[in-house]
């Protein structure tokens, strides 16, 4: 961590202490414990950010609630990759207004990717003027400062910056699971796919120093964390821009060498940057989970070029099939977009052909969503809704057929499962996750949570298994 990051961390920790003093005084005045809730939209990086936001709130004296209904402070950590994420937020804000009318002292905050989008930010400021705090992805680390200003009585705080000056990770965190954790290794994206808003709202790539990452993971292992997920928009380009920094495969190896860490995952890989070194690293170390998310987006070389994905259908197929040859027990998942401007039924046929050849274990299939400020949004050849729906249904059926076939290949095997929680639907059962990311429910007690146990996969039920402990 460089000197600037160290000073920023110290400053924000001082603001946490200031917020704690302010909140203590407010609670004395009101005669009640003040509560807060963090609502998360979007990706694993947002989920990790929300753990930090929750940690700061608790360190500042708030009691954390899962439900927003009675919270004195509600903070929405937003996504803007697709329009439905925006609409979901606006719906929540409408509900927050009705609660704020009943409790005028209630605080409402918005952070994350959506405020970084200028048109969305203007809509929030114009249509949701009762929001007390707005900040973006680049200055999330400054939340303790904004919180202390809110608790001092300031309102309508809006702090949006267009780039990040600091990487500040050493702040309070509350993890959802005590035995596993996400770890940010890099931020932002340099790829500028023509449909994607992420580089515009998350900024350009910035990697953390490997020494800081490894030290964080050692500390996590010391608290009982068994599984870590290394997070970045494109982990394969980790280290670019830092002189002398190690590669992503080398980082993986060093994480696997840390005592106490039994599983390592990562998300997400861009096909154009996935190296043979990475494939061999995964193959050679069983601590690296047998699940790889490799976004396809489209199987049409024409569409891929217009998306600026920088690989062809044939290059993607060669890579995916090579990975499966080298690591036969790996589960491959992907992202598939339907309805990109100019896409034809023949282009969708190409996508279906890739699905059939690769035989994905699962796929996140979604309809193209126009994002203001991206090149694809200004194209005049937007695909009619009815045509998109027809093509989407074709792709979805193919994905479901592939996933069902791939799920069945595990039946009867005994595989290690990390027990994550008690099953809320089946008394006496717990839920575990396999290395390949498959979920399995089996008889067990709460005492198993956080342990890795062998489980026989007895009955496939689509996207999960019923099993029995061996």
pLDDT at 9: 83
Tell whether domain 414-469 is in CATH 2.40.50. yes
CA distance 263 to 285: 10
Per-residue pLDDT of the chain (470 residues; tens, 9 = 90+): 677 778 878 889 999 999 999 999 999 998 999 999 999 998 888 899 999 999 999 999 999 998 778 899 999 999 988 888 899 999 999 999 999 998 889 999 999 999 999 989 999 999 999 999 999 998 999 999 999 999 999 999 999 988 777 677 778 888 889 999 999 999 989 999 999 988 888 888 999 999 999 999 999 999 999 999 999 999 999 998 888 899 999 999 999 999 999 999 999 999 999 999 999 999 999 999 999 999 999 999 999 999 999 999 999 999 999 999 999 999 999 999 999 999 999 999 999 999 999 999 999 999 999 988 899 999 999 999 999 999 999 999 999 999 999 999 999 999 999 999 999 999 999 999 999 999 999 999 999 999 999 999 999 998 899 999 99
Do 29 and 64 touch, CB atoms closer than 8 A?
no
Angle between helices 248-256 and 210-222 (to 10 degrees): 20
- Domain residue extents for the chain: 3-159, 180-408, 414-469
Largest CA distance in the chain: 68
Do 352 and 179 touch, CB atoms closer than 8 A?
no
Residue 110 in 3-state DSSP?
strand
CA distance 376 to 355: 24
DSSP state of 249: H
Instruction: Tell me which residue has tokens 């414990």.
Output: 33
Give the closest residue to 418 by CA, choosing from 438, 398, 393.
438
Give the closest residue to 251 by CA, choosing from 262, 261, 236, 234.
236
> Which helix (H) or strand (E) segment is 27 a member of?
helix 3-30
Do 158 and 122 touch, CB atoms closer than 8 A?
no
Give the closest residue to 312 by CA, choosing from 280, 360, 271.
271
- The pTM of the full predicted model, rounded to 2 decimals, is 0.89
Buried b (16+ CB within 10 A) or exposed e, 317-339: bebbeebbeebeebbbbbebbbb
DSSP result, 346-366? HHHHHHHHHHHHHT-SEEEEE
- Please give the structure tokens belonging to residue 434: 């396999």
Instruction: Tell me which residue has tokens 């690769």.
Output: 358
**Would the CA dihedral through 306, 310, 316, 320 be positive or negative?**
negative
> Which neighbouring-strand residues pair with 10?
none
Distinct helix (H) and strand (E) counts, the chain: 13, 19
Instruction: Kindly list the distances between the CA atom of residue 149 and the CA atoms of 146, 210, 382, in Å, as whole numbers in the listed order.
Output: 5, 34, 45
- Please give the structure tokens belonging to residue 172: 């309070």
CA distance 117 to 372: 8
CA distance 236 to 255: 15
pLDDT at 1: 62
Which ranges of 203-247 does DSSP label H, i.e. alpha helix? 210-222
> Which neighbouring-strand residues pair with 186?
207
Tell whether domain 3-159 is in CATH 3.40.50.12160. yes
- Please give the structure tokens belonging to residue 293: 């998310």
pLDDT at 379: 95
CA distance 327 to 333: 14
Assign a CATH topology to domain 180-408. Answer: pyruvate-formate lyase- activating enzyme (3.80.30)
Instruction: Kindly list the distances between the CA atom of residue 108 and the CA atoms of 45, 102, 130, 148, in Å, as whole numbers in the listed order.
Output: 22, 14, 8, 14
């Amino acid at each position: 961590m460089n000197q600037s990051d160290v000073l920023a961390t110290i400053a924000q920790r001082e603001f946490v202490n200031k917020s704690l003093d302010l909140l203590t005084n407010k609670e004395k005045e009101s005669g009640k414990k003040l509560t807060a809730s963090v609502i998360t939209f979007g990706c694993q990086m947002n989920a990790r950010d929300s753990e930090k936001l929750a940690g700061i709130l608790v360190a500042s004296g708030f009691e954390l609630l899962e439900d927003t209904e009675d919270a004195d402070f509600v903070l929405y950590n937003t996504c803007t990759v697709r329009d439905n994420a925006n609409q979901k937020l606006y719906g929540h804000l409408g509900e927050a207004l009705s609660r704020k009318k009943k409790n005028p002292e209630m605080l409402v905050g918005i952070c994350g990717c959506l405020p970084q989008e200028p048109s969305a930010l203007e809509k929030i400021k114009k249509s949701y003027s009762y929001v007390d705090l707005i900040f973006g992805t680049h200055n999330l680390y400054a939340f303790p400062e904004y919180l202390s200003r809110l608790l001092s009585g300031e309102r309508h705080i809006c702090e949006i910056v267009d780039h990040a000056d600091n990487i500040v990770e050493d702040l309070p965190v509350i993890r959802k699971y005590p035995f596993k954790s996400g770890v940010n290794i890099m931020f932002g994206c340099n790829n500028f796919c023509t449909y994607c808003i992420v580089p515009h709202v998350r900024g350009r790539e910035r990697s953390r120093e490997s020494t800081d990452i490894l030290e964080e993971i050692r500390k996590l292992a010391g608290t009982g964390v068994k599984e870590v997920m290394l997070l970045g928009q494109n982990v394969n380009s980790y280290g670019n821009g830092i002189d002398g920094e190690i590669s992503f495969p080398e980082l993986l190896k060093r994480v696997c060498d840390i005592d106490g860490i039994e599983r390592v995952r990562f998300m997400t890989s861009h096909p154009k940057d996935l190296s043979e070194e990475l494939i061999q690293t995964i193959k050679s170390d069983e601590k690296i989970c047998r699940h790889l998310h490799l976004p396809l987006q489209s199987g049409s070389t024409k569409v891929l070029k217009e998306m600026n994905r920088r690989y062809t259908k044939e290059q993607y197929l060669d890579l995916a099939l090579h990975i499966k040859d080298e690591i036969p027990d790996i589960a491959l998942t992907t992202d598939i977009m339907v309805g990109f401007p100019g896409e034809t039924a023949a282009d969708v046929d190409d996508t279906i052909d890739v699905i059939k050849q690769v035989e994905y274990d699962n796929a996140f299939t979604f309809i193209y969503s126009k994002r203001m400020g991206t090149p694809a949004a200004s194209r005049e050849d937007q695909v009619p809704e009815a045509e998109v729906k027809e093509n989407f249904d074709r792709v979805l059926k193919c994905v479901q057929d592939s996933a069902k076939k791939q799920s069945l290949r595990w039946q009867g095997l005994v595989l290690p499962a990390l027990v994550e929680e008690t099953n809320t639907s089946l008394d006496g059962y717990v839920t575990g996750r396999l290395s390949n990311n498959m979920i399995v429910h089996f008889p067990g007690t709460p005492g198993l949570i956080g342990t890795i146990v062998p489980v026989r996969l007895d009955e496939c039920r689509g996207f999960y298994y019923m099993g029995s402990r061996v």
